[in-house]
Each structure stands twice: as structure tokens, then as C-alpha cells.
Amino acid sequence: MKRSLLIVGVILLFIVPGGFAKDKLPSKKEIIQSMTRVCDWQLTNLKTEYLRKDGKTDRVPNTDWVRGAFLTGLMAQYYTTQKQMYLDSAIAICSRNNWECGRRSRHADDLTVGQTYLEIYRIKRNEAMMLPVKQRLDAIIAQPMRGPVVGWEGNKNWSWCDALFMAPPVFARMFDVTKNMAYLDTMNILWTDTYNLLYDKTEKLFYRDTRFCPKPDGTQQLSVNGKKIFWGRGNGWVVSGLVRVLQYMPVNYPARGKYEQVFKEMCEKIATLQGNDGLWRASLLDYAEYPSPETSGSGFFCYAMAWGINNGLLPAKKYLPVVLKAWKGLNWAIDAKTGMLGWVQAVGADPRSVSADETQEYGAGAFLLAGSELAKMAK
């Protein structure tokens, strides 16, 4: 009831004289049309490898975080459209994995696909869909390996900000499935370690990893224009990961207030950094270094703020114009002929330049997540 009243109020703002937003909320039909074009193109263009800008090749197995991030959007497409073909596509990909996560037992990236396994399990209630990821999380609970770990290769803890999208939502969904508080408690311990390691309490943003944090002598790596380096998509991973944890965290969970506070702080800062075209840049504080728009981070920001409005954590009057402007910018980035979402920064660990013909699956995933929340607002 609360959500229904909020959404009705948001819609009324566009028919009452003096409405505040310049960009009109699209109809649900229009939103789904955009989502479907992007989703269908991506489904027919899934790749087994990508050529990086440095000339190296990245493999993309079905258990990889790249595919895992797209699968989160594919499930959002299914929930929004209720078309069985999208659920069937997700099940087909996950079945080829035998419902196993990636090969590295603790690595957050290799847990990402577990989010989709558990969402499908909630629909199908087939134990085989959740047991492998449960065994993986149970092993982490048994040996959580506390403390900040510098670096991000191998079986390391969550010492890079992307990890906060990849792993914590898996723990939150496993809690939802089992009602075992140990999953949330362990997640909270490891999430807090990463927060303490990488969050800049002044800027209200996360560094990608410790290479960009201030050093003990007060120096730190800066952009070419002398700005602190905060990666757009990196912070998109974090704020969207917060959404995907809060979705399943009980309102009376002792640490929930901390997650809500960081979510609100980040959204407030991120909103101030939006470009005139509605999109954000790869380097959040130094648009001059990489002036091109970047759509994967922008999609995640749009998703997070729209979810915050829909769930009463962010005031619509302040944030809806930001969301609508972002959605308009994201739609501008869709290729009119194919439905491909362009301007997606390639796989990497820091801000990079990007162009219109660059795309990646996680960009489509972010777009679909954003669209799913806008569709909840629309008629």
C-alpha cells in the first residue's frame, strides 16, 4: 500500500500544474519497449570472449561476473514483462553451469551468478539450483578471513569496490531463502571491512581499491587534473549492490541503518555529478579527463535512485528529475538500428575512455535493472 501511494504521488506530479520535472515519465509500455530492444539484442549477442583495449582477450564463461551482471538484468526483464522466454533463457544459461559458481572459491566475482541461481530457486524451488552456492557460502562463513586484504586476485576478500555488487547480494538472497541469520551477519562483517578500507567519508564515494586511497604520508594517486580518482562504474557497483542487499535485509536488522545511510550519502553525492546529458563520466570528479558519457555506471546510478524513490529512501521531488534525465540519456545511447547499448566502458579496474560502439553485457544488465524500477512508477 505504501509503495502504491508513493508511485501514484510520483505520477500525479506530472499532471499537476507546476510539476517539477522537465523530462516526462515514459509510459510503462515505452519503458518495456526500450528494455526489450536492449535485452533481445544482448541475448542474441552473448560472447565467449572480449578483446580488451590493451589487446588482451578476456574469456566470458557463463559463471563469469560479466555474464552474472547481465543475468541480474535478464531476471529484471522477466519480472517486468512476465514473459516466460526471459526466465527460460536465464535457466538455460544457469543450467549449463550445473548451478555452480566460478572456480575461485572465495572470490567475489565468481559468486555473482549465485544471485540469479537463488532468484530462480525462489520461483522453481528446485534444491539443485541453490545447493552449490549454499555450500560455497557456508565455507566462507566457516572461515570468514577477517580484515582488509590489499589486492584483488585469487582467493582474496572484498578489497575492491566492485566486489560489493558481486558477493553481498548473494548472501542476502541466501538469507531470504534459508532465514539463517549467519548469512547476513557474515556479509555484514566482510562488507564493513571493505567500507572501512575504501570509503571516503568526505567525498561520500568509494575508491576502486587501495591504489587510489590516501597513503600514510598523505599523498595519493590523482587524475591528470589533480582530482581524486573515483571510478564511475565502480561506485555504480557499490550503490546497486546496496540496493540488492537492502531488498532482502529485514527492517529490524541491527546494521540496516548503516546501509541505508551510506546509500543515501552516495546518492546525494552522485546526483550532483550528473552530466547535462543525464549521464555520468568514467572519472566522477574529473569529467575533463574522460569527457565521454559512460552508460554502465549511469545505468546502475539510475537503477539505485529509482529503487530508492520506489522504496521511500529518497525523496521523489529531489531525485526523480535525476532519474528521468538519466533514463533519457541511456535511451539516447541505444543504437537505433540494432538495439545495442553503446558507450559502455570495457572491462577494467579504473576510469577509461569510451566510445559509442563499445558495449558489454553488464551495461545491458544495468539498463534493464534501471528500466525495471522505472516501470514500477509508470502507468
Q: Which CATH architecture has domain 22-205+222-377?
A: Alpha/alpha barrel (1.50)
Q: Are 139 and 171 in contact (CB under 8 A)?
A: no
pLDDT at 119: 98
The number of angstroms, rounded, from the C-alpha of 367 to the middle of its chain's C-alpha atoms is: 10
Chain centre distance of CA 184: 19
Q: Which of the residues 64, 109, 162, 193 is marked catalytic? A: 162
The pTM (predicted TM-score) of the whole model is: 0.92
DSSP 314: S
* pLDDT band at residue 143 using 50, 70 and 90 as cut-offs: confident
C-alpha to C-alpha distance for 154 and 6, rounded to whole angstroms: 45
The per-residue pLDDT for range 286-311, each reduced to its tens digit, is: 999 999 999 999 999 999 999 999 99
320-343 pLDDT, tens digit each: 999 999 999 999 999 999 999 999
The model's pLDDT over 75-87, given as tens digits with 9 standing for 90+, comes to 999 999 999 999 9
pLDDT band at 147 (very low <50, low <70, confident <90, very high): low
| Residue 144 to residue 161: CA distance in whole angstroms | 18
pLDDT category at 268 given cuts 50, 70, 90 is very high
Given a cut of 70, whether residue 153 has pLDDT beyond it is no
Whether the CB-CB separation of 249 and 191 falls below 8 Å is answered with: no
| Distance in angstroms (rounded) separating the CA atoms of residues 191 and 172 | 12
DSSP of 103-162, one letter per residue?
A: SSSS-GGGGTTHHHHHHHHHHH--GGGTHHHHHHHHHHHHS---S--S--SSS--S-STT
Q: Is 162 designated active site?
A: yes
What is the mean pLDDT of the segment spanning 125-145?
94
Question: What is the identity of the amino acid at 92?
Answer: A
Residue 91 DSSP class: H
Q: Can you give the pLDDT at residue 18? A: 31
Higher per-residue confidence, 251 vs 104:
251
Q: What is the 3-state secondary structure (H, E, C) of 19-77?
A: CCCCCCCCCHHHHHHHHHHHHHHHHCCCCCEEECCCCCEEECCCCCHHHHHHHHHHHHH
- Give the closest residue to 364 by CA, choosing from 68, 112, 160: 68
Cα 104 to Cα 102: distance, rounded to the nearest angstrom: 6
Nearest to 353 by CA among 236, 254, 223, 174: 223
Helix, strand or coil, per DSSP, at residue 311 = coil
Lowest mean pLDDT among 62-76, 144-158, 348-362: 144-158
Burial class (CB in 10 A: 0-12, 13-18, 19+), 274: buried
- pLDDT, mean of residues 33-40: 98
Q: For residues 146 and 132, what is the distance between their CA atoms, to the nearest angstrom?
A: 23
Question: C-alpha cell of 68?
Answer: 552474472
Task: Look at residue 205 and give its three-state secondary structure.
Answer: strand
Q: Which helix (H) or strand (E) holds 323?
A: helix 316-332
* Residue 286: strand, helix, or coil: coil
Cell of residue 268, nine digits: 546525494
Q: Is 158 a residue whose pLDDT tops 80?
A: yes
Locus of grid cell 572461515: 143
Domain ranges of the chain: 22-205+222-377
Q: What is the pLDDT of residue 167?
A: 97
Q: Which pLDDT score is estimated for 236? A: 98
- Amino acid type, 379: K
Cβ neighbours around 3 below 10 Å, total: 11
Averaged confidence pLDDT in the chain: 91
Residue 20 has pLDDT above 60, yes or no: no
pLDDT in tens, 175-212: 999 999 999 999 999 999 999 999 999 999 999 999 99
What is the arithmetic mean of pLDDT over 264-273? 98
pLDDT the model gives residue 48: 81
DSSP string, 241-284: HHHHHHTTS-TT-TTHHHHHHHHHHHHHHHHHT--TTS-EESBT
C-beta of residue 191 within 8 angstroms of C-beta of residue 164: yes
- Kindly state the average pLDDT of the residues 89-102: 96
Q: Give me the percent of the chain exceeding a pLDDT of 90.
A: 83
* Residue carrying C-alpha cell 512508477: 377
pLDDT at 259: 98
Per-residue pLDDT band for 9 (boundaries 50, 70, 90) equals very low
Average pLDDT on 108-119 reads: 97
Residues 278-288: pLDDT tens digits? 999 999 999 99
Residue 11: the pLDDT is: 44
Beta carbons of 93 and 62 less than 8 angstroms apart? yes
CA atoms within 13 A on the CB side of 62: 15
Residue 155 pLDDT class (50, 70, 90 cuts): very low
Smallest CA-to-CA distance from 155 within 171, 170, 167, 165 is with 167
